[in-house]
Chains A and B, each alone.
Chain A
Amino acid sequence: MKNQGCNLSPGTKWLGKWNRNPYRVIKKIGEGATGSVYLVATRAGQAAVKIGENKLSLTSEINVLRHFSKVQGNVLGPSLLDVDDIEISGESYPFFCMEYLNGDSLLSFIQKKGTEWAPVLLVQLLGDLDRLHREGWVFGDLKPDNIIVTGPPFRIRWFDVGGTTKIGRAVKEYTEFYDRGYWGLGDRKAEPSYDLFAAAMILIHCIHQSRFEKPRDNKNPLEFLIKQMNSEPSLRPFKKVLTAALKGKYKDAQLMKKDVMAAIENRSGFERQPVSSPAPNIKKSRRNRTAPPPRKIREKSKSYRVEIVLTASFLFLSSILYLVGQWM
């Protein structure tokens, strides 16, 4: 089943069949259902090449990347550098060359850096989705596996755009856990709310650090998902946003993004204030935190440390939010 293309050893060189561009394999960096991905050296420096499993396998993905490459700014996916065929032992396989995204997968990044990153990255994701949707596309197969965090400065980027679908059509590629159809919470029509459902599931997954199974014969999957959220204290501030996204209430990513940002700010125990004067906020948040009796005993003993962490993350978040705001 697997072709030779899956196993080009480091140092292998080839010339594209049509465009005659030279490539040299540095190492293999990934393998998926549709092909294998290599880090390569090209005339213009390092890049990533994806070689198709069979003759037609990458065509849709390339079509999508082609459309994206006509869009200004190129944040909609890795930029497309070349499309060609490679000959391996007499057989020809399609490949394309794209920008190499150097970073950690979403889940391993969060594991390393802490779950407080998850909502911040979600804000970034929602900004990108908004732009994608405005271009008339829905990502479709949105999941942590298809998201990488590059940097610093840390920034999410997505790849594997093979499932990207024009708005109004049927989503063809999806992964059950992130698919609203699977959870009985909607159809597979490509519309912004389809991606927003997946985005909500990604946050739940990132903070849970694991995927859970859909129980068989479950009459009310929404209730089940809400229960999952409740079982995770750090998800509580986001319960309202996430529930709305799971129900398909958000018509566009911008609206959800606003609510996620509001939830981040509330969670940190501060009110909206100009970001330039964070000092008084900290005091206030400290007072607010100590005033009500702690919900759990365990929380109490840790509360001092929690405060420091909170203060630090607030300072950090406000600068991130500021940057994001500037950047938008």
Chain B
Amino acid sequence: MSGGKIRQILLLTDGCSNQGEDPAAVAAYAYEKGITVNVIGIIDEGAGKDHGMKEVDEISKSGGGVSQVVYASQLSQTVQMVTRQAMTQTLQGVVHNELRHILGEEREMEDLPPEKRGEVMEIVDDLGETVNLEVLILVDTSASMKPKLPMVQEALADLSISLHSRTGKNHFALFLFPGKRKDADKAADWTANINELTGTFQRLTTGGVTPTGPALKTALRYFEKRLGKRSLKAYEARDLPIEESGM
């Protein structure tokens, strides 16, 4: 019944990439590999919400994930909500595929009568509670992010409270970009304890470049290393604990 796993990259950034390949393309590729990409765009207090955040939307859409643009002060609630929503979205996709097998190509979840829809949602909820989750957190630490990092740290601690309240297992890794010599540096290896990660924010690189695309690529490569040669399509139904009954 266990063994289902959801894999996400969570990108936190406050600006547009200005170096390397298009991050949306990397995100689209990650999605093909069964890893969704969620993005949180952090803006300065007082700035307009749509200011320069088209990229955020584009990356998450290509990456099959969820995005949100917020002020640093709202980070905590947003980070956990985005992670949650992305999980639900992935699971709905899985259940949806499964439904198609059963009901035929034409049936969308929305076309079901309300009662059946409710049953499907309960399955999604059950999965969201028990599924194991791997999140690679990728934080923009370019100069402009410096004052926001304490809030990022707090938000990640808050995310850990939410996720650890679930029954399923969680693993986190942390990458910071731009790296000292590379596009992104690994700040913490896979761990179940997010608080281990957040101590590492002190170490900062300053610089004008924001190589979001290349950094995403580094993150993706690292994820793949963890997956090894095993199936990369882990998001497919067969890996997830789906009960046949009730559908």
Residues of A within 8 A of B (CB): 18, 55-56, 59-60, 62-63, 66, 83-85, 92, 94, 168-172, 176, 181-182, 187-190
Contact = CB atoms under 8 A, between A and B. Distances in A.
Interface residues of B, number: 23
B58 interface: no
The 6 closest A-B pairs by CB, nearest first: A170-B165, A188-B165, A59-B121, A170-B166, A55-B110, A181-B161
Interface in B112-143: 113-115, 117-118, 121-122, 125, 129
Contacts of A171: 165
Interface string B75-105: 0110000001000000010000000000000
25 contacts: A18-B113, A18-B114, A55-B110, A56-B110, A59-B117, A59-B121, A62-B114, A62-B118, A83-B114, A83-B115, A84-B114, A92-B110, A169-B129, A170-B129, A170-B163, A170-B167, A171-B165, A176-B77, A181-B161, A181-B162, A182-B76, A187-B164, A188-B161, A189-B165, A190-B165
Given A169-B129, A170-B129, A172-B84, A56 B166 contact: no
B109 interface: yes
A176 B74 CA distance: 10
B158 interface: yes
Nearest to B109: A56
Contacts of B167: 168-170
Contacts of B113: 18
A182 B158 contact: yes
A92 B118 CA distance: 16
Contacts of A83: 114-115, 118
A188 to B, nearest CB: 4
Given A182-B76, A187-B164, 18 more contacts: A18-B113, A55-B110, A56-B92, A56-B109, A59-B118, A60-B121, A62-B114, A83-B115, A168-B167, A169-B165, A170-B165, A170-B167, A176-B77, A181-B165, A182-B158, A187-B161, A187-B165, A188-B162
Nearest to A190: B165
Contacts of A172: 84
Contacts of A189: 165
A88 B24 CA distance: 35
Given A169-B166, A171-B165, A85 B158 contact: no
A186 to B, nearest CB: 8
A60 B125 CA distance: 9
Contacts of A190: 165
Contacts of B92: 56
Contacts of B166: 169-170
Contacts of B165: 169-171, 181, 187-190
- Looking at A56, A63, A172, the one whose CB has the most chain B CB atoms below 10 A away is A172
Interface string B53-91: 000000000000000000000001100000010000000
B129 A181 contact: no
Nearest to A95: B114
A173 to B, nearest CB: 9
A189 B167 CA distance: 9
A190 B125 CA distance: 14
A189 B158 CA distance: 13
Contacts of B109: 56
A55 B164 CA distance: 29
B121 A56 contact: yes
A21 to B, nearest CB: 13
A190 B166 CA distance: 9
A60 B117 CA distance: 10
Contacts of B158: 181-182
Interface string B165-185: 111000000000000000000
B76 A176 contact: yes
Nearest to A176: B77
A184 B167 CA distance: 20
A170 B142 CA distance: 34
